Amino acid sequence: MVGLLFPGQGSQFVGMGKDLVAESPAARAVFEEADDLLGIPLTRLCFEGPEDELTATVNAQPAILTHSIAVYSAVQAHAGSVSLAAGHSLGEFSAYVAAGSMSLGDGLRTVRLRGELMYRGGQVRPGTMAAILGLDDDAILRVCAEASGADGVCVAANFNAPGQVVVSGDASAVSRCLEGAKSAGARRALPLNVSGAFHSPLMAIAVPGLAAQLDSIPFHDPRFPVVSNVTAQAVSDAATARRLLVAQLTSPVRWTACVRTMLDGGIRSFLEIGPGTVLSGLLKRIEREAEAKPVGTAAQVGALAA
């Protein structure tokens, strides 16, 4: 039983996919299709940067989805029988494309719009995010509640692993949360360089646009269940998937619980499909005995195929 993990925003890097495209015709076809569908030189941006342009939310999201699906196209025949998949935030869209719920074109257009909507949301209601290490989830929730007030809200946004949580909200409340976390014994509490308060109520402005986009495209039941960031439950039907992808904008990413669902479902072999190794590292923190194989470079794809 194989479980697929798809990385989210922040995993992008200049040069992503270049070696893979040189070696794999299937991966090359995905990048070429992405360029044609979006009408932008996405391949060149992935291969050459500049980094600040690739990192921009509106570009990073389609870039990561493209790389992830290129990898999946290259290894699909060698991945074994996929039982479950999960993606971290943006990665959940990659998972549904891989599962056949959305076409590559619809997936790319959707996540590019999602990036635009999230960026605009950050402009209309500016906010920020911060990482807190060394506190348990209950302590984080308590510190967030104490930091929220009439001038702003702070919520837990990403439960990435035990003792590793990201908070999100209005700058004033996040600042108070950082101080509260330090007082509560956090090992580290540091602000993140982001363009908005993602996975918080501040993203509500993006909800109607994403909902309309998902309603406008064909969306099929996935070929294999995808574990939702919002509920940490496996989703097998299109209607539930659409609803939860929209809810994800303003809800926390319950990544620790998502991984636990996959482990409880019998998954023992994990493949991280896409750029970087972030999710492989988080998996090890969630379950010491579990291990994921990162599959994102030509060498890693070749090793899996062999």
Report the run of H or E that residue 179 belongs to, with start and end.
Answer: helix 171-183
The question of whether 199 is a catalytic residue gets the answer yes
Closest CA to 160 of 231, 228, 256: 256
Catalytic residue, chosen from 11, 24, 89, 172, is 89
Answer whether 210's CB lies under 8 Å from 246's CB. yes
Q: In what order do the strands lie in the sheet with 188-192?
A: 154-161, 164-169, 128-133, 188-192
Q: Is 287 exposed, middle or buried (0-12, 13-18, 19+ CB in 10 A)?
A: middle
Integer-rounded Cα radius of gyration of the chain: 18
Catalytic residue, chosen from 199, 228, 251, 280, is 199
Q: How many CB atoms lie within 10 A of CB 220?
A: 14
The question of whether 81 is a catalytic residue gets the answer no
Answer whether 162's CB lies under 8 Å from 285's CB. yes
d(CA 92, CA 220): 15
SS3 label, residue 54: helix
| Single-letter amino acid code for the residue at 240 | T
| Single-letter amino acid code for the residue at 179 | E
Tokens of 86: 């999960």
* Residue 165 half-sphere exposure toward CB, CA atoms < 13 A: 28
Distances (CA, A) of 182 to 51, 171, 176, 177, 203: 32, 17, 10, 9, 27
List active site positions.
89, 199
